[in-house]
Amino acid sequence: MRIDQNELSGVLKRLKRAQGQLGGIIKMIEEGRDCTEIVTQMAAVSKALDRAGFAVIATGLKQCLTESSDGSVDTSSLEKLFLSLA
């Protein structure tokens, strides 16, 4: 299943923000910054990635359900994708 790119513009923004945060974490480690600051930023990046993943899955679910007129949605595959984020 391919998801319409227009539906994922918010996800792209979130991922680009996380990419910037990740670069900041690398710089913090290289500079020898405090462990607490580094872990705090790592938690923020992790949460951003989780939210992006959930948004992709939610968009895919919505698209599958609206496009599948014959009820042939592969729920086991969708469930497996969702649980891969857990």
Query: What domains, with CATH codes, occur in the chain?
Result: 8-83 (1.20.58.1000)
Using CA atoms, how far residue 2 sits from 7, 32, 33, 60, in Å, is 11, 42, 41, 8
Q: Which of 85, 6, 80 is nearest to 49 (CA)?
A: 85
Contacts of 56 (CB under 8 A, 6+ apart): 3, 8, 11
Q: Determine the pLDDT at residue 15.
A: 93
User: Residue 76: what pLDDT?
Assistant: 78
Question: What pLDDT does residue 54 have?
Answer: 87
Q: What residue has token string 């042939």?
A: 72
Average pLDDT per run of 10 along the chain, which is 86 residues long? 77 92 96 96 94 85 69 71 74
Q: What is the DSSP letter of 70?
A: T
Q: What is the DSSP letter of 71?
A: S
